[in-house]
Amino acid sequence: MSEFKPSPAHLKRLFEHTHQALRLYYNKQKWPAIYPTLSQLAERFVQSYQHQPNALHAHLQFYASDHGYATNLTVNQCILVCAFCSANGYDANFTEELVIAALSDHLCCSNETNKAARGEMLSVQETKLVKLRHQFAITMLDTANVPQGQLQRILSRLDKYTAAITGNKSIPLYDNTSILVTLAKRIAKAITPRPKIKTFTIVQALKSLYLGTHNEFAQLSLLALARQITDYPGGSLVNYKGQQALVLCATHDGFLLVLLNNNNAVGMLKTSKRFTPHYRPISTSDRKLLYSIWFNEQIPKPIEAHEHQEAIWQAITKLGQHQFLEFKAIEKAIKPFSQITYALQQAARQYNRQGQKASTVRHCLTMVGLDTAGLLCQRVLLETLISKLRHPFANDVWHKYNHLNKLIMMLLSNEHSEQFEHLLSPFTAAIYFILSDHSCAIRRSVKSNTEQLTEKSVSIAHLFGFVRLNETRFTEFTNNYFAHSPSHQAFLETEKAEKSTLSDKARYLVAIKILATYTLGESQALSAWQTQLLDEVLKEFQWNSLTQFCEAFITHGPSCNID
pTM reported for the whole predicted model: 0.89
Q: How far apart are CA 483 and CA 74, in angstroms?
A: 47
Within 10 Å of residue 72's Cβ, how many Cβ atoms? 26
Give the CA distances from residue 443 to residues 216, 252, 385, 515, in Å, rounded to whole numbers and listed in that order.
Answer: 18, 41, 20, 19
Domain boundaries, the chain: 8-230, 305-385, 389-562
Residue among 73, 81, 150 nearest 114 (CA): 73
Rama region for 209: left / alpha / beta (φ>0; ψ in -120 to 50; rest): alpha
Residue among 117, 277, 281, 283 nearest 199 (CA): 281
DSSP string, 318-363: HHHS---SSHHHHHHHHTT-GGGHHHHHHHHGGG-SS-PPP-SHHH
Upper half-sphere CA count for residue 511 (Cβ side, 13 Å): 26
Within 10 Å of residue 189's Cβ, how many Cβ atoms? 17
Query: Could you tell me which residues are beta bridge partners of residue 456?
Result: 498
Residue ranges of alpha helices (H) inside 52-123 are 53-59, 69-88, 92-104, 110-117
What is the β-pairing status of strands 282-284 and 62-64? parallel
Which phi and psi angles does 246 have, rounded to 5°? Answer: -110, 135
Residue 260, H or E segment: strand 254-261
**What pLDDT score does 343 carry?**
65
- Contact in structure between 531 and 547 (CB atoms under 8 Å): no
Q: What is residue 521's DSSP assignment?
A: S
- Contact in structure between 220 and 167 (CB atoms under 8 Å): no
Residue among 170, 175, 132 nearest 151 (CA): 175
Q: What is residue 308's DSSP assignment?
A: P
Give the CA distances from residue 255 to residues 236, 301, 431, in Å, rounded to whole numbers and listed in that order.
Answer: 11, 14, 43
pLDDT (tens, 9 = 90+) of the chain, 563 residues, equals 456 788 899 999 999 999 999 999 888 888 888 889 999 999 999 999 999 999 999 999 999 999 999 999 999 999 999 999 999 999 999 999 999 999 999 999 999 999 999 999 999 999 999 999 999 999 888 888 888 888 999 999 999 999 999 988 888 899 999 999 999 999 999 999 999 899 999 999 999 999 999 999 999 999 999 999 999 999 999 999 888 999 999 888 889 999 998 888 888 899 988 888 899 999 999 999 999 999 988 888 887 655 557 778 888 877 776 665 577 777 787 777 776 677 677 667 666 666 566 677 787 777 777 777 788 888 888 998 898 889 999 999 999 999 999 999 999 988 777 788 899 999 999 999 999 999 999 998 888 765 554 677 889 999 999 989 999 999 999 998 888 889 999 999 999 988 888 999 999 999 999 999 998 876 667 888 899 999 999 999 999 999 999 999 988 755 444 43
Residue 261, H or E segment: strand 254-261
DSSP string, 373-417: HHHHHHHHHHHHHHHH---TTHHHHHHHHHHHHHHHHHHTSSS-G
Residue among 516, 558, 244 nearest 400 (CA): 516
Under CATH, which architecture does the 8-230 domain have?
Answer: Orthogonal Bundle (1.10)
Using a 10 angstrom Cβ sphere, with 0-12 exposed, 13-18 middle and 19 or more buried, the burial of residue 456 is middle
Q: How far apart are CA 437 and CA 96, in angstroms?
A: 14
Residue ranges of alpha helices (H) inside 253-340 are 287-290, 310-320, 327-334
DSSP string, 14-29: HHHHHHHHHTGGG-GG
- Contact in structure between 459 and 467 (CB atoms under 8 Å): yes
Q: How far apart are CA 255 and CA 258, in angstroms?
A: 10
Query: Could you tell me which residues are beta bridge partners of residue 270?
Result: 256
**What SS3 class is residue 258?**
strand
Residue among 388, 381, 300 nearest 334 (CA): 381
**What pLDDT score does 399 carry?**
94
**Maximum CA extent, the chain:** 83
**What pLDDT score does 110 carry?**
93
DSSP string, 417-458: GGGHHHHHHHHHHHHHHHHHH-TTT--SS---S--SSTTB--
Helices and strands: H and E segment counts in the chain: 25, 6
Q: How far apart are CA 96 and CA 480, in angstroms?
A: 28
- Contact in structure between 463 and 398 (CB atoms under 8 Å): no
